[in-house]
Amino acid sequence: MMTFFGRTALVGLILPFWIGTAELRADVWGVGLGGQAWEEPAQTMAGVVVGEGQVLGPASFSLDQNITQFIVWGVGAPSSFIAEGNGRVWNNSARGIEGSEVLVDGDGATSTENSFKEVGVNQRGRIFFLDLGASFPVSQVVFYPREGEDEFVAGYEISLNDGRTFDANDSPVYEAVRQVTINRDPRVDVRFPTQLVRFIQLRVLSPSPFELAEIEVHGEGFVPRGLYETQLIQFAQPVNYGALTFRAHRVSLSEGGESSADADEQVRVIVQMRNGVDETPLDYYQIADVETQSEVLVSKEEYEELPLVLKGSIRPDATHWSSWTEPLIADSSGTYSIPLDLPGPRDFFQVRLRFEGNTSASMQIDSLAIVHTPPLAALALSEVALLDDPFPAGGRASVPAGRDTVFTYDIKADLGEGTGFDGVRISTLIRPEFLKLEMGHELEEIQPDSVHVDDTGLRVYFPSRRISTGEDVRLRITFRSQALLFSTQFIGQLLDTTGSLPQRIAEGDATREVGTDSQEVIFLASGESVLQSFAVSPPAITPNGDGINDSSVFSFVLIHLVQPAAAELLVYDLSGRLIKNVLSDALTAGRYTQWHWDGTNNAGDLVPPGTYIARASIEAAADEVNRMRLIHVAY
């Protein structure tokens, strides 16, 4: 873990979604060009290197380079053979891992010395393992003793694994590329067609004493898959997280070295981040009863001291750490930026970059920055309930799917050393209706300075009543909306119009007058059709250009749809002939009112007067749902 003390900077980012026209004054944590070196906060650099100009990307090699010298090595077998990470070197001798690091230190004058020269000891069956940490393009393995040493490996087998082939126990499945039972050359040079290699196994086939000074690995091209992961980084105090920005470049190998990659090369880098409140994102469990395998939570230190038989599961700590953010994927040169929807304020964070490409092309990143500001409040909690049912059975607000409902959204804030706030945002799946704002221990309705409502939610601003101090500040926002998913989350944020980032509100016990302790609303019952409230308005149109009833608006509500589903709005005549394709797209849950029919066919000509059929169609996972309405056309 490393501690970071930020510097204040005026960040030239446009963040109207958060703070309107205010200028954002924030701190920036940066790594790469213009920031700290990539190596400084790194925990894992598997298959990646830092090049000229602080460019981070998959390593690329020529045949004269020893790949082992570009890897961060640890001694001993990895805890997981599947997970990629730093390099590991070990052997199967009785001494275990002792002395293994000399095999990859790049110094031909250091060696295993007398470790494998004991008189009367049969050395056949000694095995040396190299885990490169990631899959590298390899075509040559070389090993040798110190110069002038006459006791060397007199029989050997070299086996390889590509880092993708494992047995039922998740151990590498090796394939031999060279076996020599009688070797008379101290320096062994094994060459083979270029292939991806992560694990290398050198098995000794001779009983004779020997020593090893170095195992070299050579190849040519980019590492197709690389991983960069920071340590758990700690700010001096909890912060709110704004945007993550980085600059990426596509590159390929050419005769003269690296150059810009062709557009058709399939390469990308995947960037993710998470944050937390303590020094470990994992929960460790001890087996409390061997017979029932019941487990109890223990500290990491306690877990590491347990005998193997009592070591239980290790799970993500979802209480104190967020999950990794949705992947931000860069597959072309440019600058990428994404708002960070992370809990806050929190002081710990971690960044992960996954590089994917091939041996001839890859992505590189020259800089990465995270914008953050001090907390608006030390703690903010909220809970949502139905206005007429503040203490629902089961502890969750339950509503009919897709029906207008009046909700209360209670907030309790403890300012602590926070800078204060003067607005609240509540996210919804459809355009809500603001009803009122109340403040104080004894709730009193006040008139907000402004309210902004759109299809993503509502923002209520009250700078004239800015909240800057207090340990138990209470607010309530009442609004009308609909639940469109079986589990709908009304996520809230504290806002600051003076120039700080928003702060996500945690769910919890905000008031004794409501009993949900949650931001979640669920359906009263499942099984409703995904397509609700299909309507045509007006049902009769006169498309003569006079501006009165020239077109008809199609409106409908989709529920349950977490993933996009194929949707169509079509107009037919009474014989069933298709007249107009109004919509053909993929839609998710929401209320839709933006499509209309102006009485024309697909060629743009006005249709004859008469009666027509409007059909809405949704192709959901289970089946296709259709709804039809009549439209009358007159002139």
> What tens digit of pLDDT does each residue of 185-221 get?
999 999 999 999 999 999 999 999 999 999 999 999 8
So what CATH class is 63-219? Answer: mainly beta
Please write the tens of the pLDDT for every residue from 447-481: 999 999 998 999 999 999 999 887 789 999 999 99
Of the pLDDT bands very low, low, confident and very high (cuts 50, 70, 90), residue 51 is confident
- Contact by Cβ (8 Å): 613, 573: yes
Q: Among 155-164, 217-226, 522-531, 625-634, whose mean pLDDT is lowest?
A: 522-531
Which CATH number does 2-38+227-281+317-373 carry?
Answer: 2.60.120
pLDDT, residue 1, reads 56
pLDDT tier for residue 630 given thresholds of 50, 70 and 90: very high
Q: What is the pLDDT of residues 93-112, one digit of tens each?
A: 766 566 789 999 999 999 99
> Does the pLDDT of residue 3 top 50, yes or no?
no
**261 pLDDT tier (thresholds 50, 70, 90):** very low
The confidence band for 568, taking pLDDT boundaries of 50, 70 and 90, is very high
Report the percent of the chain where pLDDT is more than 90.
66
Residue 255 has pLDDT above 50, yes or no: no
pLDDT confidence of residue 526 = 57
pTM above 0.85, yes or no: no
Do residues 446 and 378 make contact, with C-beta atoms less than 8 angstroms apart? Answer: no
- CA 553: distance to chain centroid? 39
What percent of the chain stands above pLDDT 70? 92
> Tokens 């590498």 label which residue?
172
**What tokens were used for 627?**
């709804």
Mean pLDDT on 30-50: 91
Q: How confident is the model at residue 570 (pLDDT cuts 50, 70, 90)?
A: very high
pLDDT digits (tens, 9 = 90+) for 106-163: 999 999 999 999 888 999 999 999 999 989 999 999 999 999 999 999 999 999 999 9
Fold for the domain defined by 531-633: Immunoglobulin-like (2.60.40)
- 502 in Cβ contact with 429 (< 8 Å): no
Task: State the span(s) of the chain assigned CATH 2.60.120.260.
Answer: 63-219
Q: What mean pLDDT, rounded, does the chain reach?
A: 88
Q: Six-digit token pair at 50?
A: 């830092």
Give the C-alpha separation, 228 to 133, whole Å.
11
Is the domain spanning 379-523 CATH 3.90.1150.10? The answer is no
DSSP 68: G
Please state, in angstroms and rounded to a whole number, the distance separating the CA atoms of residues 23 and 498: 8
Q: What DSSP state is assigned to residue 18?
A: H
